[in-house]
Amino acid sequence: MLQSSIATSYARAFFDIAMEDEKIDEYGQEIATVGRALSMNPEFFRLIYHPGLTGIQKKELLEKILTVCSLSKPTQEFLRVLEKRKRINLIQEIADSYLQMVDCQKNIVTVIVTSAVSISIAYQEALRDKLSSVVSSLPLLMGEGRGEGSTVIRLSMQVNSEIIGGLIIRIQDMVIDGSVRGRLDRLRERMVQGTK
């Protein structure tokens, strides 16, 4: 939990810089790319935190990566600060948090939809339209940091045959379980409680 809070603080600071520079998308793409690249290479973290390396060697290692990635100066400086403060290991969490802030600023809400089978594009569009009106009416989703304008729904579709039928819809921390599996589980629970 503390790591997440620290990552969010760093993401907020970098997001504020990006807002000032009017480059939230560009910096977001850069930080996400670096986050993915470093997360896929755990050897980097072993090296950067290795007690046998001097501070100068660690800086040189980071500088090599910055040179290869051809990042903007603010992104490079941000990564240098993370390395200096020994927070570079949080880069993926920072990137994820930053991208959530971008979505919030642009009124984009990601909705995860799980179905038993693949859903047609036409049904996805109808679902997106319906969810847009529902999400817009939820005050918790329209909190601090939200930009102006209507809410854009980004659907993340998942298939899980174990739900048997219906849909499970996750909007941030809210879950709407309309699956057959969920209904059967709730029915079984009511039956068990009824026998007590």
Structure tokens at 120: 């047609």
Query: Which of 38, 70, 103 is the last residue in one of the domains?
Result: 103
Query: Which of 77, 103, 129 is the last residue in one of the domains?
Result: 103
Do 164 and 98 fall within a single domain? no
Tally of structural domains, the chain: 2
Do 52 and 76 fall within a single domain? yes
Tens-place pLDDT, residues 101-130: 999 899 888 999 999 999 999 999 999 999
**CATH code for the domain in which residue 26 is found:** 1.10.520.20
Nearest C-alpha neighbor of 184 from the set 160, 162, 169: 162
Query: Which of 103, 134, 169 is the last residue in one of the domains?
Result: 103
Do 97 and 134 fall within a single domain? no
Do 136 and 150 fall within a single domain? yes
Q: Which amino acid is at 134?
A: V
The pLDDT value given to residue 1:
56
Tens-place pLDDT, residues 127-152: 999 988 888 777 655 455 555 667 88
Tens-place pLDDT, residues 6-60: 999 999 999 999 999 999 999 999 999 999 988 888 888 888 888 888 888 888 8
Strand, coil or helix: 41: coil
Domain of 57 in residue numbering reads as 2-103
**Residue 44: how many CB atoms within 10 A of its CB?**
18
Going by C-beta distance under 8 Å and a sequence separation of 6 or more, which residues neighbour residue 171? 109, 111, 131, 135, 138, 141
pLDDT above 60 for 156? yes
Going by C-beta distance under 8 Å and a sequence separation of 6 or more, which residues neighbour residue 77? none
Nearest C-alpha neighbor of 157 from the set 129, 116, 97: 116
Do 68 and 117 fall within a single domain? no
Do 24 and 96 fall within a single domain? yes
Do 98 and 10 fall within a single domain? yes
Q: Is 94 exposed, middle or buried (0-12, 13-18, 19+ CB in 10 A)?
A: buried
Structure tokens at 161: 């045959």
Do 127 and 99 fall within a single domain? no
**Residue 128: how many CB atoms within 10 A of its CB?**
15
